[in-house]
Amino acid sequence: MTLPYSIPTITTLRDPALHLALQQKLDQKTKPLGSLGRIEALALQIGEILGSQEPALAQPQMVVFAGDHGLTARGVSAYPSDVTWQMVENFLAGGAAVSVLARQNGIALTVVDCGVKHDFLAGLPHGAQRKGLLVRKVPGSEHGTADSSVRAAMTPAQCELALHNGQELVKHLPGNALLLGEMGIGNTSAASLLLARLAGLDIAQCTGAGTGLDAPAVARKTAVLREVLALHAQASAPLDALAAFGGLEIATMVGAVLQAALERRVVLVDGFIATAAVLVAHALQPAVLERCVFAHRSGERGHEFMLQHLGVQALLDMGLRLGEGSGAALAWPLLQSACAVLREMASFASAGVSEKSEFAPARAV
């Protein structure tokens, strides 16, 4: 089955002339060649994404995609699904980790209700909005996805609409950098299922503790996910797998990634769940990966395999597994530093500093 979703075409950023110019500019800075390590590679990547030898990141947007998962009825999470809406309220109140880190770094924060089992506008006048909140529920899935151990998490039409919602919301965001965050009790299960199916891995390799399951609970979770994979054995194409396993927040994030890549925004990817969205987007349009910077390697078991499958390396490795976009916010200053180095650091010529010279041959005695 193929969904009737019109996938945007993402073309490669490869521009040999720009790549050479950026590399030469980095090599002429007042430092030994390559001595700033991965900051240099990061600067080069951002320059290529933005198409500039003097890249500047403007009006960064942290978007936290939130949704509930019907599979939580099978006990795959240590927390009840009510935590999803409670944490969304915490984001909006400015009390969550990502709220603090976004505020610290001057990053605008928007929370998107993709399908949370809660009415965040209850009691407000008709048409009223809440600052920092976008409601993008999908008809028929207003309270989250279906239980994927019984039937597909989303219908093809619901999945398509979630993708469309993600594209549309990015079109209206300012700036040239999108930071991905998420919230959804049960979404590590959806991410594990997507990894197993799209990367061809055994589900045991892809399944971790999520919000804090002990070893026996992880074993039970793995068994449930194995059932889900068997039930949806025919869902092998990327969008079929996305519809089968969910979630709404991941599907909306996939649409957002595709649109951000189309617009040549820098996409700063958080942890396991956000990378699952990129995994799907990459399967649809491989050149998406050129626009993505991976913030950190999560402590969630499957994330390392996900990064390996994509062939990428994350910037940080700090044992983070909170989600929300917290790792992306922590990594954000590294992107700013990479751009500043490229724009502002002096060259040997401009600073009047001597470049490396070859050692003179030893004089005969």
Domains of the chain, by residue range, sit at 51-342
> In this structure, which amino acid lies at residue 222?
T
Query: What local confidence, expressed as pLDDT, does residue 36 receive?
Result: 97
List, in sequence order, every residue forming a beta bridge with 183; answer none if it has no partner.
66
pLDDT averaged over every residue in the chain: 94
Write down the pLDDT at residue 358. Answer: 54
Q: What pLDDT, on a 0 to 100 scale, did the predictor assign at position 208? A: 87
Residue in 278, 283, 292 with CA at minimum distance from that of residue 239? 283
Within 10 angstroms of residue 44's Cβ, the number of other Cβ atoms is: 19
- Residue 312 to residue 302: CA distance in whole angstroms: 14
The CA distance from 95 to 48, in Å, is: 36
Instruction: Write out the CATH class of domain 51-342.
Output: alpha beta
The pLDDT score that the predictor gives to residue 356 is 72
State what percent of residues in the chain have pLDDT above 70: 96
- Residue 30 has a CB neighbour count (10 Å cut-off) of 14
**101-140 pLDDT per residue, tens:** 999 999 999 999 999 999 999 999 988 999 999 999 999 9
Instruction: Over range 79-93, report the average pLDDT.
Output: 96
Residue pLDDT, tens place only, 259-285: 999 999 999 999 999 999 999 999 999
Its pTM stands at 0.94
Query: Which residue shows structure tokens 């505020």?
Result: 103
Peptide bond into 319 cis (omega under 30): no
What percent of the chain is modeled with pLDDT above 90? 91
pLDDT > 90? residue 78: no
The predicted structure's pLDDT at residue 136: 97
Q: Which residues pair with 108 in a beta bridge?
A: 61
Helix ranges (DSSP H) in 10-96: 16-27, 38-50, 82-93
Q: How far is the C-alpha of 304 from the C-alpha of 65, rounded, in Å? A: 22
pLDDT per position as a tens digit, 315-365: 999 999 999 999 999 999 999 999 999 999 999 999 888 887 654 455 443
**324 a catalytic residue:** yes
| Active-site residue (options: 89, 324, 344, 355) | 324
- Max intra-chain CA distance, the chain: 94
